[in-house]
């Protein structure tokens, strides 16, 4: 890790909203995900949508394959759904039609979009994007491309995904569970892509290459399918409410872990699921709001 990287412990307050705010004022989020091939992934985009609503976003539209639209709509009743196009031009139009101010790309995406389409979308869409799961894998599989204004991008890999992303940029860096190795990898990702990098795992790391935050909330009960999708929804919601990507990333991983801690306290680590994290997000938000106000 570069000696120029500053360790920060600052966690910003929850975004405020006006008393006369309406749903269009507090975030318009499009989630691109879901797949219906040999493996069907319906829950991931729905979890991201439900987490976003629990995190204060006003409007969510899910772009998912036609075959799973009804199922996703049932799982995320507060969101609207639209069929996911297969080309970047039409995806961009759908995002523009919804007047989104943030996009979450990747939850359960599988191969619903090709790596070329994902690269084209990230190159042409000017707003902030949270990229997770198969969105990251498609970036790693794409021919090398430049992301304009890359500081607007938040990448949320686990160790396997970060290895693929770095290898795609010619950085072959072995990653182990040591704190030093994880910090070096996260900083390398931020440098290679110019993004805010969130390396998930124990003591999740957030860095933009200049500042670095080590998260202290969360527990081993969160090692279960879907928790990353919940994080994606939280992050996108916070960005949609006006936080800068790096500040949103720090606050998001903190609240995500805190919800996990509250869930573990009530349910035990072994019995937690990702849906429990969504249910305990209000408690996490209230706890942070109270602590900031003291």
Least confident residue range of 18-22, 149-153, 219-223, 227-231? 18-22
- What pLDDT sits at residue 83? 98
Give dist(CA 28, CA 199) in Å, integer.
Answer: 26
Q: Is the pLDDT of residue 131 over 70?
A: yes
pLDDT-above-90 percentage for the chain? 95
Using an 8 Å Cβ cutoff, are 90 and 116 in contact?
Answer: no
Give dist(CA 45, CA 117) in Å, integer.
Answer: 19
Which residue is it, tokens 């916070």? 238
- Give the mean pLDDT of 216-222: 97
Structure tokens at 104: 């979450």
Residues 29-58: tens digit of each pLDDT? 999 999 998 999 999 999 999 999 999 999
**What is the CB neighbour count within 10 angstroms for residue 235?**
32
The confidence band for 245, taking pLDDT boundaries of 50, 70 and 90, is: very high
- Element housing 94 (H / E): helix 88-97
Domains along the sequence of the chain with CATH: 6-11+27-293 (3.40.1190.20)
Sign for the pseudo-dihedral over CA of 61, 64, 70, 74: negative
């Amino acid at each position: 890790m570069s000696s120029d990287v500053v360790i920060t412990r600052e966690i910003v307050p929850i975004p405020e909203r006006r008393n006369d705010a309406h749903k269009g004022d507090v975030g318009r989020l499009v989630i691109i995900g879901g797949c219906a091939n040999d493996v069907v992934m319906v829950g991931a985009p729905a979890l991201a949508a439900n987490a976003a609503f629990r995190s204060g976003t006003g409007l969510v539209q899910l772009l998912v394959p036609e075959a799973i639209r009804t199922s996703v709509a049932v799982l995320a009743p507060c969101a609207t759904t639209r069929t996911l196009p297969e080309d970047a031009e039409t995806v961009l139009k759908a995002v523009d039609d919804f007047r989104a101010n943030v996009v979450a790309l990747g939850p359960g995406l599988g191969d619903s979009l090709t790596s070329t389409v994902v690269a084209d979308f990230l190159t042409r869409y000017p707003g902030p994007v949270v990229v997770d799961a198969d969105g990251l894998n498609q970036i790693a599989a794409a021919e090398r491309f430049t992301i304009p204004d890359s500081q607007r991008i938040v990448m949320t890999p686990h160790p396997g995904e970060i290895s693929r992303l770095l290898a795609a940029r010619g950085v072959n860096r072995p990653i182990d569970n040591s704190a030093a190795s994880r910090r070096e990898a996260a900083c390398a990702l931020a440098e290679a892509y110019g993004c805010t990098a969130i390396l998930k795992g124990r003591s999740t790391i957030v860095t933009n290459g200049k500042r670095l935050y080590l998260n202290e909330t969360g527990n081993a009960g969160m090692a279960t399918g879907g928790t990353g999708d919940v994080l994606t929804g939280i992050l996108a919601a916070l960005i949609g409410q006006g936080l800068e990507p790096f500040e949103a990333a720090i606050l998001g991983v903190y609240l995500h872990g805190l919800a996990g801690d509250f869930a573990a306290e009530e349910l035990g680590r072994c019995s937690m699921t990702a849906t429990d994290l969504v249910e305990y997000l209000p408690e996490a938000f209230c706890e942070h709001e109270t602590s900031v106000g003291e």
